[in-house]
Chain A
Amino acid sequence: MAFDAKNWLAMRQQNEAKLGAAGVYHPSQEHDACGVGLVAAVDGKPRRSVVEAAIEALKSVWHRGAVDADGMTGDGAGLHIAIPRDFFIEHIARTGHDDDGGRLAVGMIFLPRLDLGAQEECRCIIEREILAMGHAIYGWRQVPVNVKALGDKANATRPEIEQVMFSMPADMAEQEAERQLFIIRRRIEQAVEAALITDFYICSLSTRSLIYKGMFLAEQVTEFYPDLLDARFVSDFAVYHQRYSTNTFPTWRLAQPFRVLAHNGEINTIRGNMNWMSCHEDRMASPLFGEAIEDIKPVIAKGSSDSAALDSVFELLAHAGRDLPMVKTMMIPQAIDADSASPLAKLYGYCNAVMEPWDGPAAIAAFAGNWVLGGTDRNGLRPLRYTLTTDGLLIAGSETGMVVVPETRIAENGRLGPGEIIAVDLTAGKLLRDDELKAEMSGRADWDKWLRRSRQLDSLLAGANGSKKALIDPEMRRRRQLLAGWSMEDMELILQPMAETGKEAVGSMGDDAPLAVLSGHYRGLHHFFRQNFSQVTNPPIDSLRERHVMTLRTRLGNLGNILDQSPEQCDHLLLNSPVLANAEWEALLADLGDKAVQIDCSFGADSGDDGLRQALQRIRAEAEQAVRGGVEHIMLSDAAVSESRVPIPMILATGAVHSHLVRQQLRTFASINVATADCLDVHHFAVLIGVGGTTINAYGAEWAIQERMEKGLLPGLTLDESFANYRKAIEDGLLKIMSKMGISVIASYRGGYNFEALGLSRALVADYFPPMSSRISGLGLNGIQMRILAKHREAFSGNVTYLPVGGLFRYRKSGEQHAFDGQIIHAMQHACDTGSYDSWKKYTQLVARQGPVNLRDLMDFNSHREALPVEQVESITQIRKRLVSPGISLGALSPEAHETLSIAMNRIGAKSDSGEGGEDPARFKLRENGDNPSSAIKQVASGRFGVTAEYLNHCSELEIKVAQGAKPGEGGQLPGIKVNSLIAKLRHSTEGVTLISPPPHHDIYSIEDLAQLIYDLKQINPDAKVCVKLVASTGIGTIAAGVAKAKADTILISGHGGGTGASPQSSIKHAGMPWEMGLSEVHQVLSMNGLRDKVVLRTDGGLKTGRDIVMAAILGADEFGIGTSSLIAMGCIMVRQCHSNTCPVGVCTQRDDLREKFTGTPEKVVQLFTHLAEEVREILAGLGFGSLSEVIGRTYLLSQVSRGDAALDDLDLNPLLVVADVTGEQRGGPPADAPRVAVPDTLDAQMVRDAAGALEHGGKMQLSYNIENTQRAIGTRLSSHIVRRFGMTGLKQGQISVRLRGSAGQSLGAFAVQGLRLDVIGDANDYVGKGLSGGMITVRPSAASNFVAEQNTIIGNTVLYGATGGLLLAAGQAGERLAVRNSGAIAVVEGCGSNGCEYMTGGEVVILGKTGSNFGAGMTGGKAFVYDPEGVFPDHVNPATLHLSRMQPGSWADHLRGLLELHAKETDSAQAKRLLNQWRTEQGHFWFVIPLEVMDKLDPAVDAESVLTASA
């Protein structure tokens, strides 16, 4: 069928508007990532080879981009190069103009193509603004393009692409000219916007450089723009970019490079940064801009992507007098210990004082002010490899090998570490490396002296003599606690562990209490804020293991002019944390004197219906007046609360003041400090800071700690110590909450509204918490006032009593209801034990009689069809196949329970999910009775526990768990008490040692990484489909679209209520959204993008009746996960002590005596799923439909039947029910028997053919190939063949040996098994030996190369991630996170980046060179040997779990020597040979690194033979 561009475009726009209005979709939710790079002539002399290299590189990163279904529409690509003056002058001459000898300026413009009137108007505006500045216009050039290189959709949205050429004075300095053009461009943009013209965009407007970009595939760049083939296109630099977007709507303007930079990654702090940037505009001034400064505001255009916003600020700063390296240093700083005395720390101290960092995965390539620069983020989350050639080219990019450079021409192969820069000063013709650049910048001013203008709070406290405010009387204390809605549970379960141990409480089994908006009980306002978290498009940070990149340092004081560079910018009060103790608050007040104003945040109990609103107006007015009067610190407090004064919820007060000051352009002039009695837990702190609070004094919590001291509940601790514990728990919790969003620095989190309101009135949010999203409206000011007044009456009437017992976390009769209460559990178990469907109906009636817990409880079915006889509905068997028992690990579950689930699901042809913990290979064989105990779905999570090639080949589906409902943004945890010998064996870890999975997958920091992992998995298992598990959140629709484009077969949307073995209570309660919201958003956005029929949608998180299943289907799901209910069917009674290993019914425990109590059987589980299916049939029959697939996505079958509590403004579920219009009938995913989404073949297709004989009979085989970086996962498919034919150990090591020459693509040798040996001569990219399962890999430079191997980078980041066995020898350095989560492989490399051996639980790593920082964080098993003649290594170690000693002669030294000999022999390593030659002196230069946990388990008599034989 011919593509109907007009129709498609119209429908698309209509859908965007429709879904946008319902809050389901917003363009700002789009994410992108990609491949990025630069080429530069170090001498600054333009040459054609620079342009050609960049074009070549673009053609070698196609796999990092994505393609639309038409196979042609790319997500965008482009090139930023110098203006070839000759080329344009010739053109100008041809149009009849003379070269006036001026500065030639060229603008690359996207004009509206179809609206000719608008097109002409744009041209007029452009010309007008250029002429207004007094410049002479040569004319316009229509850029030749070849539309055959475009896909249909890209063509449909294609702009008219033209270049405007004009002349500027020749004597004008280049910087000055560029600055003027920047102003002209902003004026043009604003004029066009004022004319209400949309499809207009200026790619570049410059006398220096030019940007060609568009929505074609990267390899089509010269096809589409034949200009680029012209030999006159020469340049001294080129910045290039290939984009991968979650969107499928080709948006030309979002193609990169932008005016200054091209960005690979995602800015996690974007919301905070954009908010603060608009605040900074208040004070922005520069003599360089003068009056024109107003013309460039707003700096960040509306609707900018994160990369575009980053670019805008980069550009601003670069034009305002800072050079490009300084701009990068300021905006994307390196993580550095602020207390260090180093000059670098002072430089960064200054940078941090000027503006908040832009934080998140970032590899950038940038050009401005005649500097070319490559840089990375503080965590090094995106790779940037570079090659310096002997003829003076710097080639840097996301991968090595993108530009093929003959080995003899390579002078240096390197990589950028976290926060590093490499740059070329084109004016000076000089290459500058990170240390040179930073040393120079550190010396530009006496930063140290500047910084000494700021003061530390500690000094202030000392001055205050540690005075403690008189403590409150117990009666008032109790009344305030009652008023805050605290319960005994809050005190015992939440506060006590914080004050006693400095840790947050851990819970299990998820959240089955009602959403705050549906609750009949009083819930503090913070309960209406759901924490945002990262998934797929950006990674969470690891606040436990990578703490060093994070900081809570808080500056108090007004913020200066960001364009300035002066000592006054450092006039701040510095706090190490935003959490203030009572004494600190008092000291602060005393110190600030009249620079601070105290504002009372309470209102009169008798002030009428409008009391709260008036009070908020009052505090806003007071704050504004104070700031206008020169006050720099606003101190909000609810201390005046009494019998007649009611507190304003402090979140509301803080948001009111913050949003008001932002609107009044006053926010940067003052800090907002909050003292409140109702803030207790981490989440509450996070909300207060997230809505704009600078510091928080939770005086009520401190009182409560004091109360517990008085009761003797904190024995051995002083009040200060207890509070210090509490503070530590809060601080760690804040770091954790920030880290979920991938935010490292609290300044960038503050005021970032990294929440979604759930059930707060939209009007309220718009007024007090803009621009937070609130899709489901609800509680407004009136409701809040009613509730707080009622609470106030309760607290201040009658005798002071004890606190209520609570019931939010654990069921109590007087507390919150829980979806699984005693009666319901028993009723369901009875129905599953007896098989009686009548009993099941009794159970579902009990469920139906509960008050509303979930959003779906406010809806009911609504069909206009005649009911069908049940016999006409599809069978139980067919329905059961859509049901899944979701991932619960063996480790959390007892082996009995885990197997029972698998057996039951296999019996009914449905799927069970292994969870993250491996599976005993014994289960891959059928039982004697024919039962199959192997899970049909094998999970791959961030810990990669037990993920071997064998495991991955015994399933029909592989699930990548990106996030988990109970704790999105965090890794799993298995308490040490549950790690017995079996669990330790399956997970390749140490018995008794707590296992924590990293928050991110270290091979998924970005969407193209996910595509790579999916690719890898589809290689290692050629049949299995791949599922990606996400957690519901706002914006998940666009993420899911990206995941679908990454070729996932199934997307699982988990709700916040999902169960868990162990998770911090604040995460269980406050992170993630209901699946109803996530699912409908994903379904609609996929439909809009034409992707819905490509993927199966699955949902889980509290589904427990047939009604839930049909509702989920109507909201868009094809398949349904039933987790908690399946545990209950096996005997779980919601004791919620999974983390304690004391499950009294043997479900969630590893204790032998408790496992004996297990009474679950496959029959009971089968019965559960049968009941569910039967009920689904009944409901379908009632609705008049014959199958589940007929109701998928038909939201008209649902209607809202309840609007919740009368106190709510308007609880409207329409956003759940909105439908995108789609063509065609199919609304659901592909049928279950459809083939999986195909991925391209890799070199292995050839290798498998060439090795056919050996794969058949097992003979010895030697293969040889030349390779390029586009050939990824080499050896993986071959390993699948080996493991399926011969098992994990069936072949001898190296029996099939493959010699590879060139640059290997990502995931070289992923999951390679014993028997396969890969020898690379050249280098390799990221993820070498990912999941290595016994195979052997060597990488070494060619013998012809001229550089010193050990000083060069030869393999990329995240090498040996999750490896369980095998050997890697690399004659060169590795990148970041070498051997992260390695649990059995042995490696020898010659240096590594930061975070080496992180989370390692087994195996051995030898490093013959420098290591980066944070080595061995969380390493609890295995060993490392690190060569360090200078003795600096201990500074790079994260010592928490490790023991270091210098190597002593003896058996371990001999063992090490054996490994070196092997390395020397196999890779010809010069470094290894040298060390061996001088072994007697050099052996003592090695550090022997072992985890404290295994010290006593170390066998001193090491059998080096085992290693050597493995490589024979």
Chain B
Amino acid sequence: MASKMLQFVSEAKAMPDKRKAATRKADFDEIYADFSAQSAETQAARCSQCGVPFCQVNCPLHNNIPDWLMLTAEDRLQEAYEVASATNNFPEICGRICPQDRLCEGNCVIEKGFESVTIGAVEKYITETAFDKGWVKPVAPSVELEQSVGIIGAGPAGLAAADQLRRKGYQVVIYDRYDRVGGLLIYGIPGFKLEKDIVQRRADLLAAGGVEFQLNCEIGKDISFAELRARHAAVLIATGVYKARDIQLPGSGLDGVVPALDYLTASNRKSLGDKVADFDSGTLNAEGRDVVVIGGGDTAMDCVRTAVRQKAKSVTCLYRRDRANMPGSQREVENAEEEGVQFEWLSAPRAFDGDGRVESVIAQSIHLGQPDETGRQVPQIIDGSDRRLPADLVIKALGFDAEDLPALFGEKDLTVTRWGTVQIDWQSMMTSMDGVFAAGDIVRGASLVVWGVRDGRDAAVAIDSFIQAEARGENRAAS
């Protein structure tokens, strides 16, 4: 069939139908419908099939995007799935939650004049079709190896590494302190971006493929790190970063000033049908409240939109830079605005006011000064610009830092950086401890799911070559 690509010159960009704000506010379901086969093909055919595909260049996983777009356009979905899944363990997840406007789609060559190809939506379409058609099968390695790998953390990095290692035939055990598989995918990201059965489906597949999960298992408490090392030929630390960044302001200690992750986890657990005391008590429920979310990242966006769905009275986002300089996805900001969120740009909290429980936020206006050495403009407070925002729930979405892993694991020898992240040699992905590897946010700091997947895959390669060299006795000879 003659190539029908390069249709961007005649076909306009069209996203899958997005549910109207009024209806989607009423539940926690995803807001985008699925593409029809016809529109997926039409949209995929808009790809310019570039000589240098900047979409791929700027994708942390270097997905072969033009190739699976071409295959989709030609209605060759099984091949499209093969290609898409060859570089990505969870294309249906990345298709949903990647900030494509900052990665592939944002760098799409036709973005400037014609609006980008809807890469994420097509990726989701391909993989959902693959699931529907039964093309997605549990891993069945052609050989089973005796060596096993222990992975700490069932988030994106850990799961990706587990998947890759299983394909090579390793025995894989994942340890996680939570009761469900998925890490942030399950408890951090709200259902309207990623429905929870999607994550569960992956967990089931991995389990069916022979990955063993040990949940509710905290390293350093339920099992020692040393024991883990003894049990496995290699260990991968993929815990993620969970320590919420805080701000110390007058009134920080008031009731109703809560960290974002607690808030989001409660909401997600509730959706999953768990009983959540802090939600039921109203501590972490936004219903009927004036909510102020502090921060401008993707977590902040998740919080404001969750609050909307919890039927908050009002939802305001306070961010110290302007719209153009926020780290979060522009698309998410649009979605939030549609859903009725107020944005207070160039604003920072000076104090929380209230009597036992927070009642208002005192905000100051900000002026963006000269760029610093990183090129970002430095926020400067405008004196005397105080204003008062009513707030009976304040959510701090200021980012995350690493927990003190050497302390938690009881392993002084585990070298960490001054930010507390685990230090690795990027060539071997090994930590300061022999046979111990690390990947994902715990290495690079809070980042995107797609980077977690990438790191997990890289770690799997590194672990494989480590174990194989070990088996040949080379590591010892070298040391």
What residues make up the interface of A, taking CB atoms closer than 8 Å to B? Answer: 488, 492, 500-501, 509, 711, 713-715, 798-799, 802, 805, 809-814, 818, 820-823, 825, 1133-1137, 1140, 1142, 1144-1145, 1151, 1153-1154, 1156-1157
Contact = CB atoms under 8 A, between A and B. Distances in A.
Given A802-B83, A805-B67, A813-B57, A1137 B49 contact: yes
Interface in B102-123: 109-110, 112-114
A1387 B168 CA distance: 76
By size class, the interface of chain B is 20 to 34
B142 A798 contact: yes
Contact of B54 (A822, A1142, A1151): A822
A1136 B8 contact: no
A243 B52 CA distance: 51
A1151 B2 contact: no
Contacts of A805: 64, 67, 83
A1363 B421 CA distance: 75
Interface stretch (B74-82, B149-157, B297-305, B385-393): B74-82
Contacts of B74: 713
Point out which of B51, B54, B74, B109 has the most chain A C-beta atoms below 10 A from its C-beta.
Answer: B51
A809 B50 CA distance: 10
B52 A821 contact: yes
Query: Closest 10 A-B residue pairs measured CB to CB?
Result: A1136-B51, A822-B57, A813-B62, A1134-B51, A1157-B113, A1134-B52, A1135-B50, A805-B64, A811-B52, A802-B82
A1142 B48 contact: yes
B86 A802 contact: yes
A1142 B8 contact: yes
A501 B48 contact: no
B342 interface: no
Contacts of B62: 813-814
Contacts of B2: 500-501
A799 B142 contact: yes
Given A715-B1, A1157-B113, A1134 B50 contact: yes
Contacts of A713: 1, 74, 76
A812 B83 contact: no
Interface string B41-57: 00000001111111011
Contacts of A1151: 9
Given A810-B51, A1134-B51, 6 more contacts: A802-B86, A811-B53, A812-B67, A1135-B52, A1144-B113, A1151-B9
Contacts of A1156: 113
B6 interface: yes
A1136 B66 CA distance: 13
B70 A1140 contact: no
A711 B83 contact: no
A1137 B57 contact: no
Given A822-B54, A1133-B50, A1144 B1 contact: no
Contact of B110 (A715, A820, A822, A1144): A1144
A1104 to B, nearest CB: 14
B71 to A, nearest CB: 9
A825 B86 CA distance: 27
Interface in B237-279: none
A306 to B, nearest CB: 41
Nearest to B85: A802
B62 to A, nearest CB: 4
A1157 B113 CA distance: 7
23 contacts: A488-B83, A509-B51, A711-B76, A711-B79, A802-B79, A802-B83, A805-B67, A810-B53, A812-B56, A812-B64, A821-B52, A822-B54, A1133-B109, A1135-B50, A1135-B51, A1136-B52, A1137-B6, A1137-B49, A1140-B6, A1142-B9, A1144-B109, A1157-B112, A1157-B113
Interface string B199-215: 00000000000000000
A812 B62 CA distance: 8
Given A500-B1, A711-B76, A812-B64, A1137 B9 contact: no
A811 B66 CA distance: 11
B8 A1144 contact: yes
A795 to B, nearest CB: 14
Contacts of B114: 1144
Contacts, number: 98
Contacts of B109: 1133, 1135, 1144-1145
Contact of A492 (B50, B51, B54, B70): B70
Nearest to A810: B51
A1125 to B, nearest CB: 14
Nearest to A1136: B51
Interface in B1-55: 1-2, 6, 8-9, 48-54
B52 A1142 contact: no
A1134 B114 CA distance: 17
Nearest to B66: A810
Contacts of A1153: 9
Nearest to A821: B52
Contacts of B112: 1144-1145, 1157
A714 B74 CA distance: 12
A805 B9 CA distance: 26
A168 B134 CA distance: 96
Contacts of A501: 2
A500 B74 CA distance: 14
Nearest to B75: A712
Contacts of B113: 1144-1145, 1154, 1156-1157
Contacts of B66: 810
Contacts of B6: 1137, 1140, 1142
A1137 B48 contact: yes
Nearest to A1157: B113
Interface in B156-193: none
A802 B82 CA distance: 7
A500 to B, nearest CB: 7
A428 B62 CA distance: 82
Nearest to A812: B64
Interface in B128-142: 142
A1064 B247 CA distance: 63
Contacts of A492: 70
A1415 B143 CA distance: 68
A1331 to B, nearest CB: 36
A980 to B, nearest CB: 14
Contacts of A1154: 9, 113
A1137 B9 CA distance: 13
Contact of B52 (A822, A1144, A1145): A822
Nearest to B61: A813
B52 A1133 contact: yes
Contacts of B57: 811, 813, 821-823
A1135 B76 contact: no
Interface in B331-355: none
A1008 B466 CA distance: 68
Contacts of B67: 488, 805, 812
Nearest to A804: B86
A813 B56 contact: yes
Interface string B347-383: 0000000000000000000000000000000000000
B10 to A, nearest CB: 10
Interface string B459-479: 000000000000000000000
Given A500-B1, A805-B67, A813-B62, A825 B8 contact: no
A821 B50 CA distance: 11
A1151 B9 CA distance: 10
A1151 B6 CA distance: 14
Contacts of B58: 822
A805 B68 CA distance: 10
B47 to A, nearest CB: 11
A126 to B, nearest CB: 67
A946 to B, nearest CB: 27
B9 A811 contact: no
B142 A825 contact: no
Contacts of B83: 488, 802, 805
A1144 B70 contact: no
